[in-house]
Amino acid sequence: MTITELLARNAAQYGQEICLTEINLELQDRDNVTWLEYELIENNPAGEYRREITWNVFDEKANRCANLLLKRGLKKGDKVALLLMNCLEWLPIYFGILKAGAIAVPLNFRYTAEEIKYCLELSESCALIFGPEFTGRLETIKEQIPGVKTIFYAGEDRPAFAESYDRLTANCASQAPAVSLESDDEAAIYFSSGTTGFPKAILHTHGSLMASAVTEQAHHAQTREDNFLCIPPLYHTGAKMHWFGSLLAGSKAVLLRGVKPDWILEAVSREKITIVWLLVPWAQDILDALDSGAVNREDYELSQWRLMHIGAQPVPPSLIRRWKKYFPTHLYDTNYGLTESSGPGCVHLGTENIHKVGAIGIPGHGWETKIVDPQGTVLDNGQVGELLVRGPGLMKCYYNDPEATRETIKDGWLHTGDMARVDEDGFIFLVDRKKDVIISGGENLYPVQIEDFLRSHAQIKDVAVIGLPDQRLGEIAAAIIELKAGSKCSAEDIKDFCAPLPRYKRPRAIIFDQVPRNPTGKIEKPLLREKYGVTNLVAAQTRNQNQ
């Protein structure tokens, strides 16, 4: 069975039941408006705050999307990029692309115009469906993406360079197209990055998507009675593959736009949510709000909430200890995965193993793991080596990059680039990352990109960006900057210079110092991480206040 067949099955069996609800509390500034007050606002110019669809409507919308693409001449294997904020249209469009036999290419909504262009070219996308938030970015590159022959706009105020997705799909058939799909057929391309900072296009089949659904349900036991709260962006494999467990179970889900603690708790209360996947910063914010009294646990109906799980970054054990004080009955799980392994699940802690918080866990359902040295020899417990994983959710390849594929997949094993050890009970602990990717608030930051930007500053001689521990975000990006002789520059000057960068890419710590390099010219980042630990970071920032 393919992932699209699951949708058709649910429409046939549970057609009139609500399957997806969108709650958008970011439509306007509502700092002084409660949820209930907002619900009663009349003629809200920004639109409705709560929308929902049934399994039947979901399936019909996906079919209309598929039929539109086929009518426009797209064929099996063509790439269709998807650039939308989380919304009720996202998943039906994604499934419509798959039903057409095309390959879905979700794009990060934080991408700059140049990054969008790069990923469209890398994936060889011939069509694009986008939302109103991205009109400005696409206008700047529309003449530079000749390979994208078809551009659809989902929303009001359509720009002249795009066609109306809503109007065109309304005139398409709501029946499934006659496209045969097999487990080995290519289904989706997701983007990741290596140490160079340039995104790689990761190709998955229908089989690996289906495997992620099976793994997710095996880990978290979703049933028809569950309701999953999805907050992270759907372009991530993590959010979508966790929702695939709900798809397999035929259960409901809520897409929440907004991450304020009271919004999350109110959504859990009012929508009768049973499962929530959080990132570390969001869990931290909820606990801080409870500690300070900004929110009161007793104001919400939370008795049905059975599972909280976290992924995308290391989880401090102290955070879970605090969580259990407020929510002692919650089941808890940690999930580890990579885009190359179809998102979370290749390693997971397991709800029965909360005593091992701090570990990323044990091999996930259907997965194998091993820790090896540089020669590929399996290491004994306690020894640090590279974590390798093998299982049914493995990517097919890096699209159009056979060399990178050969370097990453050897004898069926995915080399994760993460350094880890196994304890005497078989639990895996991450020690460090072989690559220098920084995970801050669940988002990957690529030091080379930030370094290249900073090096364009006229007074900077050299720069190194490293990740430093942060209680809330897991890590922050710290820029160690070596100024040119005689130059004067302050930390505030550097922060102002970084304003054109997306907010999440801006360094949160600025340190003026020499950048050490080894004899081959490579930056010695381990030395910098050791030099600027949590304690030393405060002292360094203080010294540099008047640099």
**Are the beta carbons of 187 and 204 closer than 8 angstroms?**
yes
At 48 the pLDDT is 57
Helices 237-249 & 3-14 angle (0-180, nearest 10)? 40
Q: Where in the chain is the domain with CATH 3.30.300.30?
A: 438-543
Consecutive H or E run containing 366: none
Q: Where in the chain is the domain with CATH 2.30.38.10?
A: 348-433
At 466 the pLDDT is 92
CATH 3.40.50.12780 fits 3-258, yes or no: yes
Cα–Cα distance, 351 to 468 (Å, whole number) = 29
- Measuring CA to CA, which residue among 512, 466, 192, 168 is closest to residue 339? 192
**Are the beta carbons of 2 and 214 closer than 8 angstroms?**
no
- Measuring CA to CA, which residue among 173, 205, 175, 176 is closest to residue 188? 205
Bridge pairing between strands 79-83 and 227-230 = unpaired
348-433: CATH number: 2.30.38.10
**Are the beta carbons of 20 and 52 closer than 8 angstroms?**
yes
Cα–Cα distance, 540 to 535 (Å, whole number) = 9
Q: Token match 């304890």: residue?
A: 423
One-letter amino acid for residue 315 of the chain:
V
438-543: CATH number: 3.30.300.30
Cα–Cα distance, 270 to 158 (Å, whole number) = 35
Q: Where in the chain is the domain with CATH 3.40.50.12780?
A: 3-258
Torsion of CA 115, 121, 126, 129, to 10 degrees: -10
**Are the beta carbons of 137 and 116 closer than 8 angstroms?**
yes
The mean pLDDT values, 10 residues at a time, for the chain of 547 residues are 96 98 70 44 51 96 98 97 96 98 95 94 98 97 97 96 97 97 97 65 97 96 97 89 96 94 94 93 89 95 96 77 94 93 91 92 96 95 94 96 96 92 94 74 80 87 89 90 89 94 91 77 78 61 49
DSSP state of 378: B
**Are the beta carbons of 173 and 61 closer than 8 angstroms?**
no
Cα–Cα distance, 127 to 163 (Å, whole number) = 11
Task: Give bridge partners of residue 193 from the DSSP assignment.
Answer: 199
Distance (Å) of CA 96 to CA 8, 22, 180, 250, 539 = 12, 19, 14, 18, 54
At 50 the pLDDT is 87
Can you read off the two tokens belonging to residue 516? 């050490």
Cα–Cα distance, 141 to 120 (Å, whole number) = 11
Cα–Cα distance, 441 to 518 (Å, whole number) = 31
The sign of the torsion formed by the CA atoms of 204, 208, 213, 215 equals negative
- Mind giving me the DSSP string for 16-45? TSEEEEEEE--SS--TT--HHHHHT-SS-T
Cα–Cα distance, 69 to 2 (Å, whole number) = 20
**Are the beta carbons of 467 and 528 closer than 8 angstroms?**
no
Length of the chain: 547
